[in-house]
């Protein structure tokens, strides 16, 4: 199945993209996806444990099962205000 992957701020710089399609095996969880990303983009490793994940614009736990067409965003801790 295919998801849309978004990366922001330091995570976008580490991955080298802000927006891309990504094929993931049926049944994969958010956590599986982050593992896959960290393996593909070693620049993410230093921020690995701090990374936040949103699915369809809502914060998500790593145990959540992905669905075809999901929009998954990965980003470092926020620093607005």
Which residues in this chain contact another protein in the complex, by CB under 8 A?
A: 6, 8-10, 50, 52, 54, 57-59, 73, 75-81
Least Å distance between CB 29 and another protein?
A: 20
- The three state secondary structure string of the chain is CEEEEEECHHHHHHHCCCEEEEECCCCCEHHHHHHHHHHHCHHHHHHHHHCEEEECCEECCCCCECCCCCEEEEECCCCCC
Least Å distance between CB 58 and another protein?
A: 8
Toward another protein, which CB reaches closer, 27 or 59? 59
Least Å distance between CB 78 and another protein?
A: 5
């Amino acid at each position: 199945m295919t998801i849309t992957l978004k990366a922001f701020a330091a995570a976008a710089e580490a991955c080298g993209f802000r927006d891309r399609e990504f094929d993931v095996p049926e049944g994969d969880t958010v956590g599986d996806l982050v593992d896959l990303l960290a393996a593909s983009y070693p620049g993410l490793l230093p921020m690995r444990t701090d990374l936040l994940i949103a699915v369809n614009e809502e914060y998500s736990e790593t145990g959540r099962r992905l669905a075809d067409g999901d929009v998954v965003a990965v980003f470092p801790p926020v620093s607005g205000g």
